[in-house]
Structure formats: C-alpha cells, structure tokens
Chain A
Amino acid sequence: MNLLNQILQGILLGGFYALLACGLSFLFGVMRIINLAHGSLAVLAAYLLMSLINATNWPPFAGLILVLPVMALIGWALQFAVLNRSLRSGPLIPVLSTFGIAVILDNAMFQQYGANTVSLGPDIGDLAYNSWNLTSTLYIGQLDALIFATAVAALGGLQLCLTYTPIGRTIRATAEDPSVVELVGIDARKVYAMAAVISMIFAGLAGAFLGMRSSFAPYAGGPLLIFAFETVVIGGLGSLWGTLVGGIILGVAQNIGAAINPRGFLIAGHLVFLAILILRTFGGGSIFRALRRLGRPA
C-alpha cells in the first residue's frame, strides 16, 4: 500500500514537473531553442511573487494576477532582445546566451535576496499541508492536486488553442517552417514573441507552485532545469501531452526511488531518464536485437 501511495505522490509530482517543463518544451517546439534559463526564470517568478506578497500582503494566488503578466513581459523582452538576435547566429548561440542569462539571473537573485532558502508555504495557510485521506496509507495533498489539475488544465487549454484557434494554427505553421510562414503573411518574429510569452507564463506558474510546495533559493534554477529537461526528454521534445507523461514517469521514478532508499529520490529519476534517453537514441528494437545477439552462441 505504501508503494501505491508513492506512485500516487509521484503522479501528482509529475503535474508540477509537466508545468515546469511545458514552457521549455513549447519554446523548443516553436523556436527550436533550448532555454537554459528556464529554471532560473521559474525561480525569479517565485521571488517576484514573494516580494509582492511581502509588499502588499496579497494572497499568493491574487499575486499571480500581477506576476504572470510580468513574466509574459519578460518573455517578450527576452525574445526581442536576446533570442531573436541569437537565433540568426546558428543553433549554439541561443544555448550560450540563455546559459548566460541563467548565470546573470541566479547571481542577481542572490545579490537581491541573499542565500537563505525561503518558501511561500506559510502564505497559503492550510492548503500547504491539508490532504484528502483515501485510506490510512493513501492520501492526496490538496496543493499537489491543485498543481496537477492546473497542469492538466493548462496543457489541455494550450493544446485546444493550438488545434482549433487561428493563433494556434499560426504557431503550428511557424513551428513547421518559419521561412514559409513569412510567404503567407505571418511575421515569424511576432509568433516567436508569442511563444516566449506563453513559455514564460508556464515558467511563472511553475515558479509560484515551487514556492508554495517547497522552499527555494537563488541557485535553485539549475536543478529545476535538469528536472524540466528530463521531463521533456522522457516525454518527447515539443509534445505537450508527452510532457505530462514525462513528468509523471519522472515523478513516479523519484518517489519509488525514495521508497527503496531515502537517498534514492534523485538517482532513480536520473536513471529512468538515462534509460529512456538510451532507448530513444539507439531504439528499443536495436537494443533488444543486441541483447538477443549477446545471448546467442558464437
């Protein structure tokens, strides 16, 4: 039963990872850019929310009304000032420039907020630790359920938007061929800006939930980026529902790892990521063929 609970917690944790990774995956899907500053930007959103709460005493969810547009604005500025320019210089420059942004952001947050870990948990009251007990060993945390529901709703909303709306079609067309969309009257740079805005809104949501469900510090962006990256790779780059599946697989693997050994949380996630990466790279069929060859007498 304890294992079942670990799996359930892993699924719920997957919702957070999906929310975190969705922006990374979406930006890659549209612009073919891997934003190495994604984790740091999520942490920045958490700090912005914390600053707003401290300054106004607003409840955190009300603060999101202001923080998410600010994150959208940051995404727009980032696209116009950095991504758009670096995109013209080949695939490596965007990676380097977003890495540079991550370094600058991490150090700026350290300068501004210090090294102490902080949390928004106390600001959301009972929601931080209340849960629904399904049985004596099986429970669902209310905040985790909220995060999971938000992830499903956000991913579903984005998927619906991409499939059925003119803006969604424009984004999909640009993702397929940015040079040809210009020939049908679409300004690819504006679509990229839109993609960066959506990506940053997801980063903002993930950052806010990060602050509510755990503690964070200025340098938390790096580990977050690794989780987001693992989620995206497991689920498939650019695939929205794949991101949710990837998040769930990573979350379940980490929780089962933690159930086996308290220090196994991170390593179990990394191992599953590595196994899936190998399978994706070399193909399951080739591996199984290789295994069969190994078992065959010479």
Chain B
Amino acid sequence: MTILNVEALEAAHGLLKAVRGVSFSIAPGEVVALVGANGAGKTTLLRTIAGAHRAAAGAISFEARNITKLRAHQRVRLGIAMVPEGRRLFAGMSVEENLKVAGAHGRRGRWTIETVLEAFPQLKPKLKARAGELSGGQQQATAIGRALMTNPRLLLLDEVSLGLSPLAVDQVYASLRTLLDSGTTIILVEQDLTRALAVSSRVICMLEGAIVLAGRSDALGRAEITEAYFGLKRSATPS
C-alpha cells in the first residue's frame, strides 16, 4: 500500500529540466530523506509534489488519486503540506496568526495551536510576536507548526536546518521527533547527511534531476550515498 506514487515525473524551470523521469512510491508512516548536491532537483521535486511547481510530464498520485493537475491549495485539503525552504512565514503577522491562517484552511485533526505548542514549546512565549522578528530556529518551528496546522498526512520538509545555528537545528529536530513518532509520512530534503540518515527510514539520492540511488537508510553505506551524492561513480566511468 502506498500513500504517494510518483511516476516518470518531469519538471522544468524554463528550458532547464530540473526533474527528469523521477519515479518512486512512499508507504504510509515512512520517513524518506531526499538528498543530493545543490541543484540536484530536490526542492523542485518537493514543490512539484506540493503543487507549487507545475509538472511538465508524468503523474503524481496521492492515496490512489491522481493529483497531478490539482493546485497546491487543493492538495493541502487532501492532506499534503509543505514547509518551504527559507521558512517563508507571513512576516508581518504574529506566530499565532500564522498558525491560525493555516488551521482555518486545512483539514481537521489532532494538530491545533495547543498541540503545536506542545511539540514546539519554544513558541509558547512568542505566540504574539511578529514572525519576522523571531530567531531562525523559532521561525523554522513556526513554519513546521504552520504546516502541521493543516493536519497533513504527507509532510514535505525542505531544508529545515538551512541557515540555523547547530543549537537551533538540535531544537528543531528534537521537536520533529514528536512528529516522527506520531507516524506522519514525511519527505525530508536535508543537506546534512548524518541527520538525514538518522531520522529517515529510506533515502533517495538525486543527481542532475534524476534518482541515482534509493534504498533503506540502514542498508545503504555512507560511502555509497556520498558517491551517488556527488556523482563520483559516474565521473569515474569513462564515457
């Protein structure tokens, strides 16, 4: 049984193909780490699954329903939420308002302002503060909380540790643990390979828009992933 099925997906930025014939499936409750160097197409793939970027070809099915043509807000209502790279909070609004906006338009479920604050206690004293005035870690917690307020069945996390101090990253990942333990299906884009391997059950490695390696996190060797990550195997092969 799969919750998400991606088939021969292609996405482009103008003439540049950022995602080339990507196919994979995810089972409910799985945590999949999407790794790869900068420009590998990870963010574009995530945005295409979320509906923020149009698919050029291929198909995306969510819970056996073809969602390729659906717009992002329609996918949110089906249960797909995304935490975009760089947080992209509504900076002029308070933390509470950021959470409420998402809560009003998503699905009903266990995630409310109270449960989000339980998962991210660092936000409690900042509830009335403007999102733009928070620290990087608090902003990331707000961004994840905002996505959770839509009560997703599939959560797409794009570079949650980017630009954060090591302490803030630890805090965010500690809070994410609640989420991981709750059985939410997650696709995580992460530059930090150690963290990605630690939290995920499966790894998909991308290079130049295509999947070059996929497998269970505990079965793949670090050296094998690093080789695929940088395309070392391919460049070592004479053309």
Contact B102 A169 (CB under 8 A): no
**A277-292 toward B: CB 8 Å interface, digit per residue (1/0)?**
0000000000000000
Contact A169 B97 (CB under 8 A): yes
In the bound complex, what is the Cα–Cα distance between A166 and B92 (angstroms)?
16
In the bound complex, what is the Cα–Cα distance between A176 and B130 (angstroms)?
13
* A169-B93, A169-B97, A186-B73 as given contacts; A180 in contact with B105, CB under 8 Å: no
- The residue that B105 contacts in the complex, of A176, A177, A185, with Cβ under 8 A, is A185
CB of A237 to closest CB in B, whole Å: 15
Contact B50 A173 (CB under 8 A): no
CB of A89 to closest CB in B, whole Å: 16
Contact A166 B100 (CB under 8 A): yes
Give every chain A residue within 8 A of B73 (Cβ-Cβ): 181-188
Contact A177 B90 (CB under 8 A): yes
**A213-236 toward B: CB 8 Å interface, digit per residue (1/0)?**
000000000000000000000000
Interface residues on B, range: 20 to 34
Which residue among B50, B82, B101, B150 has the maximum number of chain A CB atoms within 10 Å of its CB?
A: B101
Tell me which residues from 184 to 218 in chain A have a Cβ below 8 Å from any Cβ of chain B: 184-188
Give every chain B residue within 8 A of A176 (Cβ-Cβ): 90-93
* A170-B101, A173-B101, A186-B101 as given contacts; A180 in contact with B106, CB under 8 Å: no
CB of B225 to closest CB in A, whole Å: 29
CB of A191 to closest CB in B, whole Å: 10
Contact B76 A185 (CB under 8 A): yes
Contact B93 A183 (CB under 8 A): no
CB of A142 to closest CB in B, whole Å: 39
Contact A184 B100 (CB under 8 A): no
Contact B105 A186 (CB under 8 A): yes
Further pairs besides A166-B100, A188-B73: 13, Cβ < 8 Å? A169-B93, A169-B101, A172-B97, A173-B90, A176-B92, A181-B73, A182-B72, A184-B81, A184-B105, A184-B146, A184-B147, A186-B105, A187-B71
